[in-house]
Every structure is written in C-alpha cells, then in structure tokens.
C-alpha cells in the first residue's frame, strides 16, 4: 500500500499563486519506482480532469487551460510532485488530487490517489 499526502491548497485572489506538493510513501517497505506523477482536479458538478502529468521519462503534459501558468516538477529522490500555480483564475477553483501511476513498491504495484486539497480562487 502506498499513501499520497498533499498540502498547499487554500484561498487566493485572482492573479495570485499557490504551490501544491504531494509525497508518496509506502505503508511498509519501500517504493522502487513510479511511472508517472501528476495532478488532477474536480470542480463542483464537473468530472475530474487532468491538469499536469510528468512521467519518469520526463515527458510533461499540461491541460490547455493551464499551459503557461502552471508548472509541474518532480523530486524523484523524495517521491514528491509539486504544482506551481501562477496567475490563478476563478475557474481554477476545484479540489486538486495527486496521482501516482504504475507504482512498484514492497507491497506490490498499482495506481494511487491523494485525498485531495481544496484550491479556491476568489476576491
């Protein structure tokens, strides 16, 4: 079993910035590899959507709506993914979820999700 712990959400005014972080850890044993880490979001009444994904091969994919404003980075040594969000807009308001895909750990393999962190962009 692998746990993802997120932090960094909150309330910010339009045009402001926030930085989210998410660390993956094994409940027991170690994490050997992670295929990709990324961020998704879900706004009220909408489906969950991909925001930014970074693969172990350093391929990065952004949603068109955040390209140029958000930056994803991964610290492989810490199994931590960050999302720097700049020039935030009200339409960025959502619960942001961290995802770790194709994780291989002492407990097996699988995909895992964080608990979600609220980001609210409002005056």
Q: Tell me: the pLDDT tens digits for 28-84?
A: 899 999 999 999 999 999 999 999 999 998 999 999 999 999 999 999 999 999 999
Q: Looking at the chain, which runs of residues are DSSP E strands? A: 2-7, 10-12, 18-26, 31-42, 49-55, 60-62, 70-75, 80-85, 94-105, 108-113, 117-121
Mean pLDDT of 9-13: 97
Q: What is the pLDDT of residue 119?
A: 98
Q: What is the pLDDT of residue 107?
A: 86
Q: What is the pLDDT of residue 27?
A: 87
Output the CA torsion sign for 77, 23, 42, 108: positive
Mean pLDDT of 101-118: 95
- Residue given tokens 């960094």 in the structure block: 8
Q: What is the pLDDT of residue 22?
A: 98
Q: What is the pLDDT of residue 39?
A: 98
Structure tokens at 6: 């997120």
């Amino acid at each position: 079993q692998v746990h993802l712990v997120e932090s960094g959400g909150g309330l910010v005014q339009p045009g402001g910035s926030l930085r989210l972080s998410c660390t993956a850890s094994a409940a027991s044993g170690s994490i050997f590899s992670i295929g990709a880490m990324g961020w998704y979001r879900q706004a009220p009444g909408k489906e969950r959507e991909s925001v930014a994904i970074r693969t172990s091969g350093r391929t990065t994919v952004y949603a068109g709506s955040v390209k140029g404003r958000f930056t994803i980075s991964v610290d492989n040594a810490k199994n931590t993914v960050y999302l720097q969000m700049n020039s935030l807009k009200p339409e960025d308001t959502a619960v942001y979820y961290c995802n770790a895909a194709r994780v291989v750990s002492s407990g097996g393999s699988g995909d895992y999700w964080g608990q979600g962190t609220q980001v609210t962009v409002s005056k």
